[in-house]
A and B are shown apart, each in its own frame.
Chain A
Amino acid sequence: MSAQYKLVHCTVNGKAVEKMVDVRASLTDMLRNEYHLTSVKKGCEVGECGACNVLIDGEAFNSCIYLAVWAEGKSIQTLEGLLSPEGELSDIQQAFVDETAIQCGFCTPGFIMTAVEILNTNKLYTDEELRKLLSGHLCRCTGYENIFRAVKKTMYRRQGKTIDF
């Protein structure tokens, strides 16, 4: 086809931006190629693995199966947006480090953005609920247990509750 482009305005990590985008692009393509946000990983590219997960208006989406043009008018948050202005890690990122919830790191940004959506509900989920909420991500290294602990710990800490694993 002859290339078809569209100007897409959106907010990326709190900043209002606009770019001409090929309509065939996925949101992963746009975030990586136009905004150089490489925490957004290209994994399966069919919505199964969660490596490309970002928050759109506060909800988690696999950006690989989301058209870039649909970002028009939306607020997008990627892992890069979690860092403080001084570059310090957020609580959930630090928990991933503390719990050794990372090996190769490929699934980590996606997992953390889903964790942000979960934590922002300010609810205390049961283990079963939490496992279901985290089930949209594949990790081939850690066996999930440390990831689960990192999210659970942060959830309890934010609620001011002591944790009993």
Chain B
Amino acid sequence: MYDMKALYEAQSVEDAIRLRVEHPEAQIIAGGSDVLVQMREGRRAGKELISIYMIDALRGVTMDAEENLRIGSLTSFSHITRDPLIQKYCNVLGEAVDQVGSPQIRNIGTIGGNTCNGVTSADSASTLHAWEAIVELTGKDGVRRVPIKDFYIKAGQVDIKPDEIQTAILIPKASYENTFGHYIKYGLRNAMEIATLGCSVNVRLSADKKTIERCRIAYGVAGPVPMRCPSAEAVANGAQPSKELSEKFARAVIDDINPRDSWRASKAFRQHIAVEMAKRALTRAVELAGGEMA
């Protein structure tokens, strides 16, 4: 038995919004692989929960009218990895969330929960930042769309109003078109592990594959919230892919990131692996895009 004060079950988005307004103290629970564990630990013991898990309308990946890739907030990690639209347009996201926890966790864990937790180590977070994802929130006054970088306010805090729930994550067409990316997770073991550092890089090459038209890089655990690296991106944008460029690009991330010392790893170690991960992820992204590191 969980030590919960009460459970309110939403059967629809409207239901969830009404329950949010009626029970302002209640915590939203999606898949529950964090909320229930925290309740068991005592951190959330005795709290009220609003369960949105049964809202099947929030599951699945579709292409919307504006050709945004639309991922329902309750889509599980394993369903994202197996989804043909994800595999075609944003395969790196499927690969990133395939490194969360264990197979059973990937069947229950949702992309919405992963982002709404507001933790920097979430395996989806760096890729969603690097692909400039848009977070869709639905509240009593309608739908609001927030760029993912603004959605994360600080560690553990995201931009959800008291009457809202997150209903989808969108990857805009301009973001995924002709774009290829790679994610590297550094952890001490392969399964049931929280990232020491996560790095996601994607590139769009020119038609002749000789120029990097656009390069985006984002990290998880390189600061209190996931972050992009504008200095490194400026180095790569418009440049020709080469080993020399990848070195220069990788060194530039040091100007952008701000990792901390923790029991998992020191700041110095995180900075060290950040450089190596940037180099490897850029190289792989260029290869996936059909280019070559001269």
Contact = CB atoms under 8 A, between A and B. Distances in A.
A132 B5 CA distance: 37
B36 interface: yes
Interface residues of B, number: 29
Interface residues of A, number: 31
B107 A24 contact: no
Nearest to A1: B5
Given A59-B107, A62-B105, A135 B191 contact: yes
Given A69-B51, A133-B103, A136-B103, A47 B2 contact: no
Interface of B: 1-7, 9, 29, 32-33, 36-37, 40-41, 51, 53-54, 78, 101-105, 107-108, 190-192
Contacts of A35: none
A67 B54 CA distance: 11
A66 B108 contact: yes
Given A62-B108, A67-B32, A132-B191, 6 more contacts: A4-B7, A25-B1, A26-B1, A47-B108, A61-B107, A133-B103
Given A24-B2, A48-B192, A72 B104 contact: no
Interface in A120-165: 132-133, 135-137
A66 B192 contact: no
B190 A135 contact: yes
A1 B8 CA distance: 14
Contact of A60 (B40, B51, B104): B104
B28 to A, nearest CB: 13
Contact of A47 (B29, B51, B104, B191): B104
B54 A45 contact: no
Residue picked from A65, A133, A137, most chain B C-beta under 10 Å: A65
